[in-house]
Chains A and B, each alone.
Chain A
């Protein structure tokens, strides 16, 4: 089943007198349950593509449908609601809310979705357990290691059962062992039908995915899925 369909997705920035084309007519389709790595050198357009797919930026031109919805026609508020329901974000620097404990960080999207507090906490605890952090539920981010924070970040991204997980270099700040653990979690998510799109610089980790999309100068240079 096609989860995302992007056609001629283009993003241009004004940089003084010149126009920078960060993403140039990218066309791709991603299917449910796929584990996809997006690679490329710095400035190749990986993050730009990532931001367009995650609806936190708007392309200059092109078409984008997620789960059959033309997301480019949505208002900002509708996009936020769409993200809450369908997309989970994992950031390179974990991006946890520092004043919330691990379980509170994970429960936040569930509360935003309207879930009663007790139910949200129970689900958050279960999700934390699934990433091996049940014992650290009441710790603040500052009391957790980088690997643990990233796993909390994953738990937060998957707690509301989205169809798509977008992970921006999730292993960049982690040691090899922690990175493998994270990739293992992603693999399990894909087995449940969740699509995981991961930006990475590491060829070793890219090879562990189902499909590798390589970008160069804003264009899709290769896509092993084609």
Chain B
């Protein structure tokens, strides 16, 4: 009953103070909380989003939902035709793309060098043979061509190279990283793979920001197959897209049940990604939380100062309230109610700005970063945790100064001592 009465009086005083008090101070406090919340959500979200986006691109452009690869002691997927037939018959499968992938070497400038002893310009890579139509339907990598075009069905003598194989896109002079110093589209390169050599023309350059793809070269499967002697039609990768998220475990279960695990490694998209991706994601999330926490502390101190100055300036008023019989709990609660109001409005605005403006905008226009298209990665649990942290910090920042001023002797407060 007493707490109800104190709360009622606290709301009575606080709400009128908010409505009729210093609006600039209120607006400034709310703005501060709004910016702190946006900082908490966006900075953390962008840091995690850098890796999340990279991980997502890897899924969309390369592995799809499920990827089959050779067993550790095999160089290709045995029984590929029957496995492909099984995948093709599965109702849960939306698309799939079998690929050949063989280590090889691209050489450029071999026709123009005058020095027979000179080491020709070359780059080691993985050459991938695929069906351009099927691949385009599955991963849409054709949309990531930055120069020239993607492969045409049945096109021979053409190759698409990943941007990281060309010096003009990856200007790094470092041991172990080889790039070709060529102009790009229209240049002739010599492909060496499986003991065979073939001269091909670069028809396009792919820049997908997926490391796995940008260090590969792509050609029609029908042209690569005889070069690597894969006349048995056994492939090296099969990327499978499920009709929906729930279908993924069903596809894996069906493939496993049919004994396909004896011929291929079956992995969900996230299992196929290196563990360090998750480690980096966790590290960036921690970094985002640290930066956000600094923001919360700075904001709390500022709110503390605002409330403290406000309470100090009004200590005579606080003394008068005590003199006319308003108890200290009700006065302290009035400050907490005000802080709660500022926190609620500030966080509400922060939520609106973050999720109705910044996130949709960044989703539609990802931040163009060298290794990924930056997005803002958020989860409702993470947002709720940040919301509660800021709310608690704000309430504390409102309560402590009020408590410090209210506990002063009534006569000292009235006389401003």
Verify if B87 is at the interface (C-beta below 8 Å from A): no
Q: Which residues 1-57 of B have a CB within 8 angstroms of A?
A: 1, 5, 8-9, 12-13, 16-17, 19-21
**0/1 interface trace, chain B 328-359, chain A, CB 8 Å (1 if under):** 10100000000000000000000000000000
CB <8 Å contact, B13 and A97: yes
CB <8 Å contact, B325 and A156: no
Nearest A residue to B407 via CB reads A76
The distance in angstroms between the C-alpha atoms of A220 and B244, with both chains bound, is: 93
CB <8 Å contact, B327 and A109: no
Q: How many residues of A contact B (CB 8 A)?
A: 31
Verify if A119 is at the interface (C-beta below 8 Å from B): no
Contacting residue for B9 out of A88, A95, A98, A108, CB 8 A: A108
The distance in angstroms between the C-alpha atoms of A88 and B325, with both chains bound, is: 9
Verify if A180 is at the interface (C-beta below 8 Å from B): no
The distance in angstroms between the C-alpha atoms of A17 and B292, with both chains bound, is: 52
**Which of B203-211, B256-264, B275-283, B315-323 touches A?**
B315-323
CB <8 Å contact, A111 and B328: no
In this complex, the member of A84, A99, A111, A114 whose beta carbon has the largest number of chain B beta carbons within 10 angstroms is A99
Nearest A residue to B12 via CB reads A111
Nearest A residue to B322 via CB reads A80
CB <8 Å contact, B328 and A112: no
Verify if A12 is at the interface (C-beta below 8 Å from B): no
Verify if A202 is at the interface (C-beta below 8 Å from B): no
CB <8 Å contact, B320 and A111: no
Q: Which residues of chain A are near B222, meaning CB under 8 Å?
A: none
Nearest B residue to A114 via CB reads B5
A residues whose Cβ falls under 8 Å from a Cβ of B: 51, 54, 56-57, 76-77, 80-81, 83-85, 87-89, 91, 95, 97-100, 104, 108-109, 111-114, 140, 156-157, 160
What 5 A-B pairs come out closest when comparing CB atoms? Answer: A84-B325, A57-B411, A99-B20, A56-B410, A95-B320
10 more CB-based (< 8 A) A-B contacts, given A84-B326, A95-B320, A100-B13? A54-B323, A80-B326, A85-B325, A95-B317, A97-B13, A104-B12, A109-B325, A112-B9, A112-B327, A114-B5
| 13 A-B contacts (beta carbon < 8 Å) | A54-B323, A56-B319, A80-B325, A80-B326, A81-B327, A89-B324, A95-B317, A95-B320, A97-B320, A99-B19, A108-B324, A112-B325, A140-B20
